[in-house]
Amino acid sequence: MAPGESTVVELIFKTRSYKTRISKYATIYSNDPVQSTDKIHLSANVYASTDTALPFTLPPGNVSLSKDSKKGKIVLENKGDSRLWIEPAGGLLEGLSLKVKNDDPKPGQKSELRFEWKDDFEKENVERSVTFLVYGEGADSTRFSVPIVLQGTDPAPPPKVTRPKRTTTGKSIDAKKRTVRRPARRTTSATEDPRVVKPAKTEKAETTKPVDAEKPVPSPTAKEKLSLEKKTEESKSKNSPQPAGIESEENQ
């Protein structure tokens, strides 16, 4: 730049990987003898987008084709503010044709994906899918798949589901015939309040009666004492030996 001229410096900052408050700076180098470098500071608040997907809707379910109904369709609606572009992501199943009505719907418009089967149907059901790419203005592409079901001419019936039987101690128990025993329901009288908790009953300890002690022998009377003393003396006199030369009254 010549002396006295000026210019504009454009700074481009990509916020794709930021989701908070940021502070950056850029350094400008020059041959200015007074100030050879200059820093430009930049601060901003970066908010993440609430919805990064392309705004379009698809009905749930699949496209079912049969011998009696070889055509089917699915409708896509643009719910956003910009135009969309729709195209198949790959090749189609052999025998299946596709026509897209309005492949670049504007905001609020709809697209029809029309399918038709031009070949013979197999005996069994065949399940396939078709994948589509959707592009938007200033947005990344996304994809979705449409399930295709080719109804068979003579499909096999679905297998029967049987409940397994439980075996305990060698005996077979059928789950259907199993009975559940419930505890007997306790009934309360009209005067009994079920909210009142009664104390648990305690068993009375067994008590043993003491064995009667031997009764004391009553003391003898005076008459009985005299009779007992007399008998004792008589027994002593009979058992004691008599001295020589003395005879008892009985011998005399």
pLDDT digits (tens, 9 = 90+) for 92-150: 888 999 999 999 999 999 999 999 999 999 889 988 889 998 888 766 678 888 999 99
Domains of the chain in start order, with CATH, are 13-48 (no CATH), 56-150 (2.60.40.10)
Task: Give the pLDDT score at 157.
Answer: 75
* Low-confidence stretches of the chain (pLDDT beneath 70): 16, 47-54, 138-140, 158-159, 161-220, 222-223, 235-252
Residues 95, 126: contact at Cβ < 8 Å? Answer: no
Which pLDDT value is given to residue 179?
Answer: 61
Q: Give the per-residue pLDDT at 69.
A: 92
Instruction: In whole angstroms, give the CA distance from residue 215 to residue 237.
Output: 35
pLDDT at 169: 56
Give residue 217's pLDDT.
56
Q: Are 100 and 114 in contact (CB under 8 A)?
A: yes
pLDDT at residue 63, as a whole number: 92
| Partners of 73 in beta bridges | 114
Name all contacts of 91-95 with Cβ < 8 Å and 24+ positions apart.
92/130, 93/128, 93/130, 93/148, 94/119, 95/119
What pLDDT score was predicted for residue 117? 94
Rounded distance, CA 57 to CA 54, Å?
Answer: 9
Looking at residue 252, what is its pLDDT?
Answer: 43
